[in-house]
Structure 1
Amino acid sequence: MKDLEKHALRFATKAHEGQLRKYTGEPYINHPIAVAAIVATVDHTPEMIAAAYLHDTVEDCGITLAEINERFGRKVATLVAYLSDISTPYHGNRVARKALDLQHTALAPSEAKTIKLADLIDNTKTISTLDPGFWQVYKVEKKNLLAVLKDGDPVLWEQAAAQCE
């Protein structure tokens, strides 16, 4: 593991300390670790792995993009920015917020789209089996995301799409 990746894993582990996964109760850091492991199975860079570890820190931990930029560089911060939702409750109901976030994701570089595909793959594993009711909502949102994630890794895109069948 390269230094950038190790630093990102340590930082994300500390940022997510005490957080638990909604459906499994396991330490939350297991999700970013799983996302990074999925990204590592396809063509990737150290910055992509670092961003995979850090992808939920802005949304869930109160970490700023400026801090990510300062600690990990502009490339990682840019990827994390594209992986972070931009909507807030001010933007309306879930449908309106997800539409705004979808537009943001559509503009992402292919590296961020690859990480987002890995995120979807890992999230689907728990949501589809442990919350069948929400899965119906999430599946529609995921299909909408898949339409704008075609520039991501094709192997991961196929895996993510297969989960919706």
Structure 2
Amino acid sequence: MKKKAKQFAAKAHEGQKRKNSDAPYITHPVRVAERLEAAGFREELVCAGYLHDVVEDTLVELEDIELEFGPEVSRLVAAHTEDKSKSWQERKQHTIDMIKNADPEVKYLVVADKLDNLLGLEKDLREQGEAVWEKFNAGREKQRWYNKSIASKMYMD
């Protein structure tokens, strides 16, 4: 199932590039999934790592994920999917609110995603400087607020 998820994500993200880079977009979900797999998580979560952006960034719908990978993978992807019809602020606030009471696997998926994004941002800042922020929907301060807010909601009682 992991190989199928990787291929499905690669096809869905075909032609897309990473922000601030010419790297194919699929490099990001592959790193997220590989990080989850290296940490020993179950197959469904690794598959969700590959698929975590397909619904919000491509024409794939949650029903397609459920049909191809089952309800558990679909549930994990759905928990991590933002509604792009809403403003940046609304989408990010929803994620912050959701993460506080999310089950641990959803939190692991979000952490793997955010870690990869932050490592990419660090590299881009070293290579391109402040011009990096011009490609974001929200600038440095809003990005800082968002990432700090996510981190503060990760604590599990």
* TM, length-normalised to structure 2: 0.83
State the 1:138 CA deviation.
1.7
State the 1:16 CA deviation.
0.4
Aligned counterpart, 1:118? 112
* TM, length-normalised to structure 1: 0.80
Unaligned runs of 5+ in 2: 134-138
Number of residue pairs matched by the alignment: 145
Aligned counterpart, 2:49? 52
Confirm whether residue 77 of structure 1 aligns to residue 70 of structure 2. no
- Distance in 1 separating the partners of 2:89 and 2:17: 26
The residue correspondences of 1:115-154 to structure 2 (distance < 5 A) are 115-131=109-125, 132=130, 133=133, 134-151=139-156
The RMSD of aligned alpha carbons is: 1.8
4+ residue runs over 4 A deviation: none
Confirm whether residue 23 of structure 1 aligns to residue 9 of structure 2. no
- Distance in 2 separating the partners of 1:74 and 1:121: 26
After superposition, the Cα gap between the structure-2 partners of 1:107 and 1:41, relative to the gap in structure 1 and judged at 3 Å, is same
- Distance in 1 separating the partners of 2:4 and 2:83: 25
State the 1:129 CA deviation.
4.1
Report percent identity of matched pairs.
32
Quick check: 50-59 or 118-127, which moved more? Answer: 118-127
- Distance in 2 separating the partners of 1:18 and 1:87: 20
